[in-house]
Amino acid sequence: MPQLAWQKSSFSTGGEGECVEVAISAPPLVHLRESDHPRDTTATTPHALAHLLRALKSGAFPR
């Protein structure tokens, strides 16, 4: 796998650790990881991630 350029999410407010980081790769894929555990990553499509974020914002998942 090529080297990914990770960026801290603009929604992460913590200083060190506890930050969500994202990276983009072909075909397009969005890679996500927690900065505390950089070896544990997941990847999804932009479309699927957009659906998840809309569901989270709408309150579809109880806290």
Range of the domain at 43: 7-58
Determine the pLDDT at residue 9: 72
- 22 domain-assigned: yes
- 63 domain-assigned: no
pLDDT digit string, tens, across residues 13-47: 666 667 889 999 999 999 999 988 999 999 999 99
- 1 domain-assigned: no
Q: How many domains does the chain have?
A: 1
What is d(CA 32, CA 62) in angstroms, rounded to the nearest whole number?
A: 22
Check: pTM over 0.75? Answer yes or no: yes
- 43 domain-assigned: yes
What is d(CA 58, CA 56) in angstroms, rounded to the nearest whole number?
A: 5
pLDDT band for 1, please (50, 70, 90 cuts).
Answer: low
HEC string for 1-61? CCCCCCEECCCCCCCCCCCEEEEEECCCEEEEEECCCCCCEEEECHHHHHHHHHHHHHCCC
Determine the pLDDT at residue 19: 86
